[in-house]
Chain A
Amino acid sequence: MAPEDSTRKPLPAPDADTTTFWLGLRHGKLLLQHCRRCRNVQYYQQATCRECGGDELEHRPATGRGKVHSFSVVHRAPGPAFKADVPYAVLLVELAEGPRMISTLTGSDPEDVTFDMEVELAFDQVSDDITLPRFRKA
């Protein structure tokens, strides 16, 4: 943990499992994996279906709609990189397609988040290569 790292927000480094996913976000799409064999829909990305073990996975863009399954508003940042952002709401979002994902709220007061609140995807380009999927109130 070098000092220069502590104030910079960590960015994902895409790998063989996830390159397509992060490329999709750059192009404004949140890709979910649909299993052709057992119809499981999964988030996060990998080579095989976590339900049936099959490798016939198809990337399909999510509608981007979901609702808040749970949430927690961060008041004490996990490190210097996030200190300026507090308070911010971490959301556990249940996507319309079924899978849950974790992200943060953008565009409105974190104190106004409620359970089952309808949210939609917001694309946050944080570097040339990386666009993070965030959510705003629908």
Chain B
Amino acid sequence: MTTSPLLEVRGLRAGYGASIVLEDLGFRMGVEAVGIVGRNGMGKSTLCDALVGFLPPSGGRVLLRGNRIDGRSPERIARSGIAYVPQGRRLFLSLTVEEHLAMLSRRGRRWTPSAVYALFPRLAERKRQRGGNLSGGEQQMLAVGRALLLDADLIVMDEPSEGLAPAIVDVLVDTVHHLVAEGVAVLVVEQNLRAAVRMAPRQLVMVSGRIEAEFAGDELLDRPDLQHRYLGVGTATAPSDPDGAGTTDA
């Protein structure tokens, strides 16, 4: 490892007003798929927002290929090479599928609207539909397709499998593998451990605003004790979430 990693986060601190959500968070990743798992309210979405500049960090550093990008505006971060597929997709309700892609397509980019249609043929069938009229799976495909058009080095996905049918999750898993094979890194935040493990061979566990542990492959899937400890699953008392109750994780 002589060259700088694709993404390096050091001592990241971010929050909303007086409430600090991320504290001294750090990790590094190369051109690979990395999952971030953790309970509700641990700051996973805040981490995504901080990385893409929606929530400017109040401390620490974010380096993309060795260049500092923290403190830059969202548009500059996007142009530096990070594309965002946010939680809830945040499509433009008044734009059609076609328009979502047309507004971002530029000459000379590797990803074009037709390449996105080739990847997600379902979208091609629904070109004229508005973002708000698509099924959950189609919306997610469009959100991913929209991010691809930026020709980013890294795509940050927040809860991509949320509310999707298993068949659609399969499509997403394949897409993530396909992207990594093409040289695009993917950082995927997931509540759904099974989906996360299928998408990314490396899992970082977030607890109270920092990366607490790292697991490889399906290590976590086979260890109910770890799942209980880090993700609060597998026990009858799991739903109560005392640590996360007061934290914003929007």
The answer to whether A binds B is no
- Which residues from chain A sit less than 8 Å from chain B, CB to CB? none
